[in-house]
Amino acid sequence: MKFIIETYGCQMNVADSEMISTIMENSGYELTDTLTDADIIMFNTCSVRQHAEDRVIGRISNEVARKISNKNLVIGVVGCMAQRLGKELGEMNTKIDFVVGVDNYFKLPEIIEGLYNKRHFVSSVDMNHKEIYHDIYPIRSNELNAFVTIMRGCNNFCTYCIVPYVRGRERSRSVDEIIKEIKIAGEKGIKEVTLLGQNVNSYSWEGINFPKLLQKVNKVDGISRVRFVTSHPKDISDELIETMASCDKVCEHIHLPVQSGNNEILKVMNRNYTAEHYLNRISKLRSLIPNIAITTDVIAGFPGETEEQFQDTYNLMKEIRYDFAFMFKYSPRIGTKAAEFNNQVEEAVRLERLQRLIDLQTEITHEKYKEQIGQIKEVYVEGPSKKDENEYSGKSRDFKITIFPGDESLVGKLIKVKVEDAVGWTLKGHLVE
Ligand code: SAH
Ligand code: SF4
Ligand code: F3S
C-alpha cells in the first residue's frame, strides 16, 4: 500500500509529515511522491488563518473526485485543521475517510487498516498534554536540511491565535533524543539543522534551557549550520543572544515576530512585551552579531487597531528595517478571544493596511539585498534554480537565497559566492575559489 502526504502550514507540520512517514513505513506502508500511485492520500493541514483552511478544503474536494475511478482510495486529514474540526470535517465532506489530530499519529496505521476492513469514517482527535512521540527518527523528505522538533505546543495564548487550542500545552523533548536525531542527520551528510518549536525559548529539560541546548547542538559533528524558529520577543534573553554570538554554527539570522508596533495593541494581543522592549532586543542582537538578518511576522487590522496605532507598526518596521517579513491581515479564528471582540476592523481597511506594509517592506528588502553586492557569502547549495537550469541555488547563513552558475556536483556543499547583483529576494553571484 502506498501513501502520500500533502503538507500545509509551518515547519512543525513539515517535521510531523516526516514523522508520520516513519510511523507508516514501520507498519509496512510505502511512501510515494506521485498522487496517482497513492492508495492513501493524507492532507497535513494548518488552521492559523481562514485562508489556510479554505485552500486545503479546495484541494481535498479536488482529490476526492479520484474515488470515482479508484474505489479503494483512502483520504485522510491530519494536522491542525483536523484537530480543530474533528468529525465536523467528515460531515462537511462525506468522502473523507479519517480525521486524525496532532497527538494521535501513532494510531494512523491501525486506523487505516481498520478502514480496509469496515469502511466507515473515523475521527481521532484526543489531545495529550505530554510529549508522546519518543524514539522515532524521521525519514527526511529533504536530504539537505533536518527539521528537528525540540518542543511542541504553546502556553502563550496570544488572543488572535488558534495554535494553543490545536497544538495543546508546551512540552519539551529530551536532550538525548534531540542530540541523537541531529547526530543521525550529521552522519547522513545533512549539514543544516533547524530546531523547531512554537516558542523555542521556552525549551526546558532537566535544567537545560534553550541556550544550553544550542551549545550542545553546536558541538555535534557533521553539522555546519544551526537555525531555530520561532523565538518569542518576551523570552529572548541576553544569555540566548550571547550564545548565538559565541556558537560558530548558529547562523546569523533570527525570526522574531513583532505582530504590532503599538503597545496598546500588543497588550490586547497578550504578547507581554512593549515596542521598547522589542527594540532593546534588536539592538542587543545587532550589537553582538553585527551582520545578523532579522525577519518578522506582523498582523494588520487586529480588532480595535486605529490608523494611529497602525502607524506605530509601520514606523517600527521602517525603523528596524527587517530583511524580510511575513505580513498578514488579521483573520478571526473561532474559539480565540480576539474573534469575540466587538471592534473588528473592516475587511477593506485590513487589506489596505496590509498593502501599505507590503509596499514598505518590499522596498526595504530590495535596499537591504542591494547592500549585499560585493560581499562574499557562504552558500549551502540546494539544487538547480527554478528559473534557469544552468544556475544553482542555495541559502546564505543569513537566510538569503543566492543563485550562481554551477552544476550538480555542488549540491550539498558549502561554497563561497561573490554577490554581484540583487533581484527581488534573490542574490546573484559567482563562485569564488
Ligand atoms: N509560534 C509562532 C508562530 C505562530 S503562527 C509565533 O509565535 O511567532 C505564525 C504567524 O501567523 C504569527 O506570528 C502571526 O503573525 C500569524 N497569525 C497567527 N494567527 C493569526 C490570525 N488570527 N490572523 C492573522 N495572522 C495570524
Ligand atoms: Fe500563537 Fe502566540 Fe503561541 Fe505564537 S506565541 S503560537 S502567536 S499563541
Ligand atoms: Fe498552522 Fe498548525 Fe503550524 S495552525 S502555523 S500548521 S502549528
Question: What is the structure's pLDDT at 387?
Answer: 84
Q: Which residue has the higher pLDDT, 135 or 40?
A: 40
Answer yes or no: is 62 within a domain: yes
Considering 355, 370, 385, which residue would you say is the last residue of a domain?
370
C-alpha cell at 238: 541576553
Statement to judge: residues 232 and 109 lie in one domain: no
Statement to judge: residues 228 and 338 lie in one domain: yes
Question: What is the structure's pLDDT at 188?
Answer: 92
Task: Please answer whether residues 45 and 8 qualify as being in contact, where contact means their C-beta atoms are separated by less than 8 angstroms.
Answer: yes
Distance 46 CA to ligand 1 centre (A): 11
Reported as a single tens digit per residue, the pLDDT across 270-328 is 999 999 999 999 999 999 999 999 999 999 999 999 999 999 999 999 999 999 999 99
Closest CA relative to residue 127, chosen from 96, 160, 159, 105:
105
Does the beta carbon of 13 lie inside 6 Å of ligand 3? yes
In the chain the first and final C-alpha atoms are separated, in Å, by: 48
Statement to judge: residues 62 and 120 lie in one domain: yes
Q: Cell 488579521 maps to which residue?
A: 330
Reported as a single tens digit per residue, the pLDDT across 171-211 is 999 999 999 999 999 999 999 999 999 999 999 999 999 99
Q: What pTM value is reported for the model?
A: 0.95
Burial class of residue 199 in the structure, from the number of CB atoms within 10 Å of its CB (0-12 exposed, 13-18 middle, 19+ buried) = buried
Statement to judge: residues 182 and 80 lie in one domain: no
Q: Whose CA is nearest to atom 4 of ligand 2?
A: 198
Statement to judge: residues 230 and 111 lie in one domain: no
Statement to judge: residues 331 and 346 lie in one domain: yes
What is the distance between the alpha carbons of residues 56 and 269, in angstroms, rounded to a whole number? 27
What is the distance between the alpha carbons of residues 79 and 57, in angstroms, rounded to a whole number? 13
Reported as a single tens digit per residue, the pLDDT across 223-255 is 999 999 999 999 999 999 999 999 999 999 999
> Quick one: DSSP state of residue 174?
P
C-alpha cell at 139: 525519514
Q: What's phi and psi for 80, nearest 5 deg?
A: -70, -35
Choice among 76-90, 117-131, 352-366 with the minimum mean pLDDT: 117-131
CA angle centred on 110, ends 108 and 112, rounded to 5°: 65
Does the beta carbon of 161 lie inside 6 Å of ligand 1? yes
CATH number assigned to the domain comprising residue 20:
3.40.50.2300
Statement to judge: residues 174 and 54 lie in one domain: no
Statement to judge: residues 158 and 197 lie in one domain: yes
Bridge partners of 426, per DSSP, are 401, 423
> Quick one: DSSP state of residue 38?
-
Task: Tell me the CA distances in angstroms from 303 to 300, 308, 331, 349, 355, one per residue in order.
Answer: 9, 14, 10, 11, 17
Q: Whose CA is nearest to atom 19 of ligand 1?
A: 161
Answer yes or no: is 154 within a domain: yes
Q: What is the mean pLDDT of residues 96-103?
A: 96
Domain encompassing residue 330: 145-370
Task: Please answer whether residues 251 and 225 qualify as being in contact, where contact means their C-beta atoms are separated by less than 8 angstroms.
Answer: yes
C-alpha cell at 154: 504553546
Question: What is the structure's pLDDT at 34?
Answer: 94
- Residue 183 burial (CB count, 10 A): 15
Distance 255 CA to ligand 2 centre (A): 14
Closest CA relative to residue 344, chosen from 80, 159, 156, 85:
159
Closest CA relative to residue 389, chosen from 375, 402, 407:
407
Q: What is the mean pLDDT of residues 378-382?
A: 97
- Per the prediction, the chain carries an average pLDDT of 95
Helices (H), 270-395: 275-288, 307-320, 347-370
Amino acid symbol at 231: S
The DSSP string of 87-126 is THHHHH-TT--EEE-TT-GGGHHHHHHHHHHS---EEE--
Length of the chain: 433
* Residue 75 C-alpha from the chain's centroid: 24
Question: What is the structure's pLDDT at 117?
Answer: 81
Distance 231 CA to ligand 3 centre (A): 15
Answer yes or no: is 129 within a domain: no
Q: Which of 46, 48, 156 to mutate to test the pocket of ligand 2 (most atoms within 8 A of CB)?
A: 156
Q: Kindly report whether the peptide bond that precedes residue 34 is cis, defined as omega within 30 degrees of 0.
A: no
Considering 94, 124, 154, which residue would you say is the last residue of a domain?
124
Distance 101 CA to ligand 3 centre (A): 12
Question: What is the structure's pLDDT at 413?
Answer: 96
Q: What is the mean pLDDT of residues 41-62?
A: 95
Statement to judge: residues 84 and 12 lie in one domain: yes
Statement to judge: residues 305 and 419 lie in one domain: no
Q: Which residue has the higher pLDDT, 128 or 339?
A: 339
CATH number assigned to the domain comprising residue 393:
2.40.50.140
Does the beta carbon of 314 lie inside 6 Å of ligand 1? no
Task: Tell me the CA distances in angstroms from 300 to 47, 270, 314, 357, one per residue in order.
Answer: 18, 16, 10, 8
Answer yes or no: is 134 within a domain: no
Task: Please answer whether residues 381 and 397 qualify as being in contact, where contact means their C-beta atoms are separated by less than 8 angstroms.
Answer: no
Does the beta carbon of 10 lie inside 6 Å of ligand 3? yes
Task: Please answer whether residues 327 and 354 qualify as being in contact, where contact means their C-beta atoms are separated by less than 8 angstroms.
Answer: yes
Q: What is the mean pLDDT of residues 252-265?
A: 98
Statement to judge: residues 66 and 181 lie in one domain: no
Q: How many domains does the chain have?
A: 3
